[in-house]
Amino acid sequence: MGATHLLTIDDLSAADIDELMRLTDSFVEVSERRIPKVPALRGRTVAFLFYEDSTRTRLSFETAAKRLSADTMNFSVGSSSVSKGESLRDTVQTIQAMGVDGIVLRHKSAGAPKLITQWTDGSVINAGDGWHAHPTQALLDTYTLRQQRGSLTGMRIAIVGDIKHSRVARSNAAAFTKMGAKVTFVAPKTLLPSSLEPWDVTVAHSIDDVIDEVDVLYMLRMQMERQERSPVPSLREYTRQFGLTAQRFQRLNDDVLVMHPGPMNRGVEIAADVPDSVNGLVTDQVRNGVAVRMAVLFKLFSTTSDPSFSKPTIAAPAGA
Amino acid sequence: MPASLTSISSVTSIVIKGGLVIDRSGEHMADVVIESGHIVAVGKDLSGDLVLDASGCVVAPGLVDVHSHLREPGMEEAETIESGSRGAVLGGYTAVVAMPNTMPAIDCASVARDVLALGRESLCDVYTSAAITMGRAGEILTPMAELAALGINLFTDDGAGVQDPAIMRLAMEYAAGLDVTLAQHCEIESLSHAGHMNEGAVSAKLGVAGIPAEAEELMVSRDIALAKLTGAKVHFQHMSTAGSVELIRAARATGMSVSAEATTHHFTLTDSCLESYDPIFKVNPPLRTAADIVAVKAGLADGTIDAIATDHAPHTPETKERPLDQAPPGMLGLETALALALTELDLPIADVLRLMSWRPAEIVGIDDVHSGKIEVGAIANVCVFDPQEEWTISGSAMASKSRNTPYEGRTVRGKVRHTIVAGEAVVIDAEAQR
């Protein structure tokens, strides 16, 4: 069987996502064990190739791989021959020659994960490529909403902020709509993609236009860095139009869920106390991220579809 | 004995037998005899020392490309003037105009003389353009008069447009006095900034920064206005959008004598090719939409666009294996343009030849040598091709030093059989003779 990859949400059908969600349920259970580790991928080697700084995604993938007993190999730009000008192709072929079953790639160039599939026999998992896609983020967010409400069908989700430069927005819009939710992009036109044709979404140009009619507010990180030709006049102006301020939070229905992919700029796109409120799901997202990535790794690298890991293969310590 | 085994040096006359002659004055079945660099006879049942079979073929004036990147000096690992000229003659071209975005740029007489000298050793007529501004930096005009004295008729900063309208106005005023043509690569860089493909639904989905059509159209519009102001001869390079075609059409309707070219890839490929993220499809201006292809084809058909250009842009394989945003733009064209035009354009062969031979020769002012005529006394620049022969495009089979064709594996119709440059049979039976 040829290698399979996870490059975008488009690679998955709704049924595939459902299956991954059910697998994730098992791994949530594993993660709650006293020793949260199963031998499902023993003898498998996964390489992490991160061309872009990432704390949470990388730690999440590493934790997931270790809980599945996979061997891991780390290749980061700063400490490798990449900084000496080695091409992506040569790096991938070097890793391939060492013998790996798969590569988890984070790259600043959209399409880099697709590009490397031609140079490796293993599976490629996209851990974020430029503005393009971040499929495991979308899966963990889908899982988190499903955990809260059972299903996404009919759910009204507003994705608020810099959609244009966001792989999270692209992948989440694809996953949420695929699972039956109604998605609205909320942003000034300067922060929207040049065309919305690829997504089945509606658009609003102020958070106040949607705030009373949503089930979920998905807040994106607003870039703090000063940019040439900045797409917004100032962060203050952005917060006034698009921030989930304390006042707006007061207005929300009690059951509105608030999500953020992190890292957050508290006080800019989201008021300081909101993420820690009962409506906030940020820590659930992070926690579920490990289990979802376990499901993805298991699905791609396990030789069997039988989740034998669910049996207690490691004896529980006495007194547990 | 196959013609290619004949010793060329002993040949004193060449006869092209049994073909359909198509030139700017019409078409008729005839043999063509070439001697001492000229066509000496056109008629029935003629003979010569070297017989080139043209049965089933069109015998046409050699093709002229107004837009080739031959990469010398500076990027000889991708192409040289010699390798580029070999690809050119295999593609039916007898003349190409080199672009000046070499390293160093062709912006002074000494570099231009080197390029012209290398051109004289090559397989076809190599003309060169020269830069409008020093180093193509858009700030200081090149010594156009000195360059024009070397025979250079076309000036361009190709690879970039002249951004500052005041500099472009100066260039036009200066050029008008020298009777040379300015060719513009139309791209407002502050709008195309950091873009890697056409801006639209495909770029939005792919998460790739886009280049809007307006980045091209605003400069087309600006330069039409400046041409009107200055009276300069202006040529618009690689028109890629429906809006650009319409601007050119409207300018012509007012009686202006602007000229324009379109590349083969801008009427055969769309931005959906980029869904593969394969940098082989990265080019500047970028591949546009199906609607733009319709407009470009209409512009070619009604003469709004004067010429088909290749924008032949060789790049080494390693640079075209980088991620899309890091790979250089450009694709090969010289060896595939005629076949693609014959296959993809619903035009009579004579119209394709107008677009690829005599009209481009007029734009660059070389129609004395590349007259578009197959008649007694004309300099023998001739291309013989079978308009029906099908073949499959393969980058590794090309004469170019690079392989970056976006048409790998595509089957096309129309194959060059023989090419004669100034009386020398440089391609015989689809084989380059040196």
| Interface predicted TM-score of the whole assembly (ipTM), two decimals | 0.91
* Domain, as residue range, for A204: 135-281
pLDDT digits (tens, 9 = 90+) for B157-189: 999 999 999 999 999 999 999 999 999 999 999
Smallest Cα distance from B276 to chain A, Å: 8
Inform me whether the C-beta atom of residue B199 falls under 8 Å from chain A C-beta atoms: yes
Indicate if A179 and A233 belong to the same structural domain.
yes
How far is Cα A288 from Cα A291, in angstroms, rounded to an integer?
Answer: 5
Indicate if A194 and A207 belong to the same structural domain.
yes
What count of CB pairs under 8 Å joins A to B? Answer: 67
Q: Which residues of A touch B276 (CB under 8 A)?
A: 114
Residue B192, helix vs strand vs coil: helix
Question: Domain limits of chain B?
Answer: 3-59+376-400+411-432, 61-363
Q: Are A124 and A102 in contact (CB under 8 A)?
A: yes
Indicate if A102 and A156 belong to the same structural domain.
no
Does B321 contact A87 at a Cβ distance shorter than 8 Å? yes
Q: Which of A56, A114, A165, A266 is catalytic?
A: A56
Indicate if A289 and A275 belong to the same structural domain.
no
Indicate if A248 and A272 belong to the same structural domain.
yes
How far is Cα A14 from Cα B80, in angstroms, rounded to an integer?
Answer: 53
Indicate if A230 and A268 belong to the same structural domain.
yes
Does B205 contact A198 at a Cβ distance shorter than 8 Å? yes
Indicate if A20 and A157 belong to the same structural domain.
no
Q: Which residues of B touch A112 (CB under 8 A)?
A: 323
- Residue A240, in any domain of the structure: yes
What CA–CA distances, in Å, run from B202 to A11, A70, A114, A137? 17, 37, 16, 22
Q: Are B385 and B415 in contact (CB under 8 A)?
A: yes
Q: What is the mean pLDDT of residues B350-369?
A: 97
Does A115 contact B323 at a Cβ distance shorter than 8 Å? yes
Does B322 contact A87 at a Cβ distance shorter than 8 Å? yes
**Catalytic-residue membership of A107:** no
Which one of A89, A115, A167 has the shortest CB-CB distance to B207? A167
Smallest Cα distance from B208 to chain A, Å: 6
- Residue A4, in any domain of the structure: no
Which one of B203, B209, B277 has the shortest CB-CB distance to A114? B277
Q: Are A107 and A51 in contact (CB under 8 A)?
A: yes
Average pLDDT over chain B reads: 96
The predicted pLDDT at position A3 comes to 55
The predicted pLDDT at position A317 comes to 43
Inform me whether the C-beta atom of residue B201 falls under 8 Å from chain A C-beta atoms: yes
Smallest Cα distance from A314 to chain B, Å: 44
Task: Determine the residue among B205, B278, B281 to mutate to test chain A binding: the one whose Cβ has the most chain A Cβ atoms within 10 Å.
Answer: B205
Residues 137-196 of B with CB under 8 A from A: 190
- Among chain B residues, the shortest Cα distance to A165 is held by B207
Does B208 contact A131 at a Cβ distance shorter than 8 Å? yes
Residue B350: pLDDT over 80: yes
Which DSSP symbol is given to A119? G
State the residue for tokens 């490796």: A120
Does B204 contact A194 at a Cβ distance shorter than 8 Å? yes
CATH number at residue A81: 3.40.50.1370
Chain A residues whose C-beta sits inside 8 Å of any chain B C-beta: 87-89, 107, 109-112, 114-115, 129-133, 167, 170, 193-198, 229
Closest C-alpha to B100, from B64, B126, B62, B124? B126
Residue B190, helix vs strand vs coil: helix
Indicate if A143 and A273 belong to the same structural domain.
yes
Indicate if A292 and A263 belong to the same structural domain.
no
**Catalytic-residue membership of A84:** yes
- Residue A115, in any domain of the structure: yes
Which one of A87, A110, A229 has the shortest CB-CB distance to B324? A110
CATH number of B61-363: 3.20.20.140
Indicate if A129 and A140 belong to the same structural domain.
no
Does A194 contact B277 at a Cβ distance shorter than 8 Å? no
Closest C-alpha to B204, from A173, A290, A165, A172? A165
pLDDT digits (tens, 9 = 90+) for A20-59: 999 999 999 999 999 999 999 999 999 999 998 888 899 9
The predicted pLDDT at position A257 comes to 98
Q: Which residues of B touch A114 (CB under 8 A)?
A: 276-277
Q: Which residues of B touch A109 (CB under 8 A)?
A: 323-326
Q: Which residues of A touch B277 (CB under 8 A)?
A: 110-111, 114-115
How far is Cα B324 from Cα B321, in angstroms, rounded to an integer?
Answer: 8
Sign of CA dihedral B20, B21, B22, B25: negative
Indicate if A255 and A302 belong to the same structural domain.
no
The predicted pLDDT at position A223 comes to 77
- Residue A61, in any domain of the structure: yes
Inform me whether the C-beta atom of residue B205 falls under 8 Å from chain A C-beta atoms: yes
Dig out the tokens for B116 from the structure.
């012209």
**What total of structural domains would you count in chain A?**
2
The predicted pLDDT at position A319 comes to 40
Exposed / middle / buried, residue A111 (Cβ in 10 Å: 0-12, 13-18, 19+): buried
Which one of A87, A194, A229 has the shortest CB-CB distance to B203? A194
Which are the contacts of B237, defined by CB distance < 8 A and separation ≥ 6?
B67, B156, B158, B183, B184, B185, B186, B261, B309, B311
Q: Which residues of A touch B201 (CB under 8 A)?
A: 195, 197-198
Smallest Cα distance from A97 to chain B, Å: 19
Question: What is the amino acid identity at position A48?
Answer: F
How far is Cα A122 from Cα A62, in angstroms, rounded to an integer?
Answer: 18
Smallest Cα distance from A277 to chain B, Å: 33
Which one of A88, A170, A196 has the shortest CB-CB distance to B207? A170
Does B206 contact A194 at a Cβ distance shorter than 8 Å? no
pLDDT digits (tens, 9 = 90+) for B214-224: 999 999 999 99
Q: Which residues of B touch A88 (CB under 8 A)?
A: 321-323
Smallest Cα distance from B325 to chain A, Å: 6
Smallest Cα distance from A50 to chain B, Å: 15
Smallest Cα distance from A254 to chain B, Å: 34
Indicate if A160 and A130 belong to the same structural domain.
no
Please state the separation of Cα B106 from the chain's center in Å.
18
Inform me whether the C-beta atom of residue B206 falls under 8 Å from chain A C-beta atoms: yes
Does A132 contact B206 at a Cβ distance shorter than 8 Å? yes
CATH class of B3-59+376-400+411-432: mainly beta
Which one of A87, A111, A193 has the shortest CB-CB distance to B318? A87
The residues of B that are catalytic are 311
Does A132 contact B212 at a Cβ distance shorter than 8 Å? no
Helix runs in A102-215, H state only: 112-116, 135-149, 167-178
Q: What is the mean pLDDT of residues B43-71?
A: 98
Does A170 contact B205 at a Cβ distance shorter than 8 Å? yes
Q: What is the dihedral of CA A132, A135, A138, A144, to 10 degrees?
A: -160
Residue B370, helix vs strand vs coil: coil
Does B324 contact A88 at a Cβ distance shorter than 8 Å? no
Q: Which residues of B touch A195 (CB under 8 A)?
A: 200-201, 203-204
- Mean pLDDT for each 10-residue chunk of chain A (320 residues)? 80 96 95 92 95 89 96 81 80 94 96 96 96 98 98 98 97 98 97 96 97 97 77 93 96 96 94 94 96 97 60 41
Does A115 contact B277 at a Cβ distance shorter than 8 Å? yes
**Catalytic-residue membership of A260:** no
pTM (2 d.p.): 0.94
pLDDT digits (tens, 9 = 90+) for A47-56: 999 998 888 8
Q: Are A175 and A133 in contact (CB under 8 A)?
A: no
- Residue A173, in any domain of the structure: yes
